[in-house]
Structure 1
């Protein structure tokens, strides 16, 4: 798509995609969708044969979850307004998964999160795919927002110490299991793509 960031063609325009993936990269990954976000977009296009646009959440990906959540919410609402028939897929890896959690769980402003979704957003969100989510072991996002129970897939790779902190004394040994290549090689991006593709039929 050639529209400026945050702006989509009108709903009647041919430029509206069949679906849009809004993905928040992990902590310290360079700007863009990150390895997992790009791999997920590619897999979804292959599996669905649809025109799926990819929006990379614009945030520093350091420690400021609220900045990622605000930008993700802003993009969701722009898509709803300008391409209302376009189903939205939300995704996030590591810190990006936490940002996605905030968007889905918080119906009101809190701390630095200033752009809660309106209630009308629910039917526009077709699926949610989260990887290496540090909040998962405390409580899955579906506990905070049960409406997304059937639309959410949460994936944690083996002994990833972020989402499965069972042996924190040896977290450094397990750290490679949290890294994006581990998720991709384990087939978890493909697994998520299968799940999401079914929601886009």
Structure 2
């Protein structure tokens, strides 16, 4: 018979190892739960317009608020695209890369989160490039097609793409049915007009409110209006 004193160190060592491994597993489980707890149901990624201060901007702020109000019972988070929004219209490409990076990163960490993308003015071009539409305002990384199903709505205000005779609906078979596009009559940025005020009114003329309602409907599996 092997003396008990020879068994004790081995048994204690195994017990300590099991306790150590168990502690690690509990820690990892806790971290996973924490990450999942930080994941929202809906993540809005929005790019402000040219010359606006960093943040969601004059259209993005009320859009996120409106989407949140229209999705009672669902958690909504937001991200302001980190880009220059320069007045010379040269920062849309880098902005698109940042938008794409945000979507890819959150999608990987939060497998149940869905997205609403959007932008105003140059921020609309950021959005165009991010969903794979070619524009004259630069190049940037596009969102992988594999994530398209998780992008439920795309909202743009004063999209320069219209000056090329296109819309997201006409330019993207992948995202066209999810697009909600606003272009005011006379807007020089999207309608080749001369009314600068038309470009500044989206947050005040009901466009943002309508966009929020339609985006929420798309998130919930409903339909957008045929004409935004």
- With over 3 angstroms needed to count, the CA separation of the structure-2 counterparts of 1:156 and 1:119, relative to structure 1, is same
Structure 2, unaligned stretches of length 5 or more? Answer: 1-30, 221-228
Partner of 2:218: 199
Separation in 2 of the partners of 1:126 and 1:26?
22
Q: Residue 96 of structure 1 aligns to a residue in which SS?
A: helix
Separation in 2 of the partners of 1:105 and 1:89?
16
For the aligned residues, what is the CA RMSD? 2.0
Q: 2:176 aligns with which of 110, 128, 149?
A: 149
CA contact (8 A) 2:47 2:80 kept: yes
Separation in 1 of the partners of 2:217 and 2:191?
27
Partner of 1:5: none
Q: 1:116 aligns with which of 134, 139, 142?
A: 142
Partner of 2:160: 134
Partner of 1:58: 82
CA contact (8 A) 2:129 2:139 kept: no
CA contact (8 A) 1:88 1:124 kept: yes
Partner of 1:79: 106
Partner of 1:4: none
- With over 3 angstroms needed to count, the CA separation of the structure-2 counterparts of 1:84 and 1:160, relative to structure 1, is same
Q: Shift of the alpha carbon at 1:112?
A: 4.3
Separation in 1 of the partners of 2:172 and 2:64?
25
Partner of 1:29: 52
User: Normalized per residue, which structure has more helix?
Assistant: 2
Partner of 1:95: 122
**Structure index of larger Rg:** 2
TM-score (norm: length of structure 1) = 0.84
Separation in 2 of the partners of 1:98 and 1:10?
36
Q: Residue 202 of structure 2 aligns to a residue in which SS?
A: helix
Structure 1, unaligned stretches of length 5 or more? Answer: 1-8
Partner of 2:42: 19
State the structure with bigger RCO (CA 8 A, min sep 6), 1 or 2: 1
CA contact (8 A) 1:10 1:82 kept: no
Runs of 4+ in 1 over 2 A off after TM superposition: 9-12
